Amino acid sequence: MSGAAWVDAVTAEFERHVAAERGLSPHTVRGYVGDARSLLEHASRSGASGPGDLSAPLLRSWLAVQHEAGVSRATLARRGAAARSFTAFAYRRGWLASDPGTVLGSPKVRRALPHVLREAEMAGVLASAKADIEQRPPGRTPADAAVVLRDAAILELLYATAIRVSELCGLDRGALDLGRRTIRVLGKGAKERTVPVGVPAIRAVSQWERSGRPVLARDGSGPALFLGARGRRVDPRTVRRVVHERLRAAGVPAGPGPHGLRHTAATHLLEGGADLRSVQEILGHSSLATTQIYTHVSVDRLKASYRQAHPRA
């Protein structure tokens, strides 16, 4: 079997594994599969005739080539994790006599504190979106008006629930429980969780469903809660564009994207008195350590407020 042929075949097997057996998100699957293919192509160029020829030195040489090309520490860490995932898979399949990924180190990644908006800034963004609904310029078409309703609902829901952009795009009609003020979310690893939703977000989503969604809906729209301009389920790229455009319109030109709104919501919850365990549940973090980064954000902001307000700071 030629180098290209075995690389294609092995990559396809690994893709089926990570997509079906591990329940990872489509974005993560693409990343893992792309990294695995890159590793196998490097191995093939180095003379490997199959996955059984993978070794720790070969894994290290693959990462070294990328390091020399200027790849960031965070990307190297991610690719190292993908390589370890692949070699563990190959070992379980019997393709490897031992797992070389177990001795592969991972570069330490400095975790940058997330960018968050102040409460007043976030309130301004949401007020700007609401004002855009109410202004209704003469030339606005029904489709344009529907998109404005959708965008306002997306902003309100992202901030109210701190859900991921992929989770928002995956929402179906019926996920929002108006009586209980909660929403069912399918998170990482196909784990479902229930998240509280505030009244303004419920109103915005209800207005979108009542007056906006029917305008954009088509025969192929299916049960998707949020739709794009062509009537299909909204995609993450569209949501990111919406968030950036709305932040700029509200005077926050360097503001965060959808994930930044998740950071913002989590930080505001902690600053408002929510306990860390509750925030962990809302965010869908499997480990409390992942949630704890937000305590650092809150402490830093507390120190900044102290320095500005205390006469002897």
Residue listed under structure tokens 């180098």: 3
What pLDDT sits at residue 313? 47
Q: Chunk the chain into consecutive blocks of 10 residues (it has 313) and report each block's average pLDDT, rounded to whole numbers.
A: 77 88 73 92 91 91 87 83 91 92 68 73 92 88 95 95 92 92 84 89 96 94 95 94 90 77 87 82 77 65 63 56
Q: Which domains does the chain have, with CATH numbers?
A: 3-103 (1.10.150.130), 121-309 (1.10.443.10)
How much is the pLDDT for 267? 86
With H, G, I as helix, E, B as strand and everything else as coil, classify residue 136: coil
Residues forming a β-bridge with 192: 186
How far is the first Cα of the chain from the last one, in angstroms, to the nearest whole number? 71
Please give the model's pTM, rounded to 2 decimal places.
0.65
Q: What is the pLDDT of residue 276?
A: 79
Closest CA to 82 of 16, 35, 18, 27: 35
Residues known to be catalytic: 164, 188, 259, 262, 285, 294
Q: Give pLDDT, residue 239.
A: 94
pLDDT at 135: 85
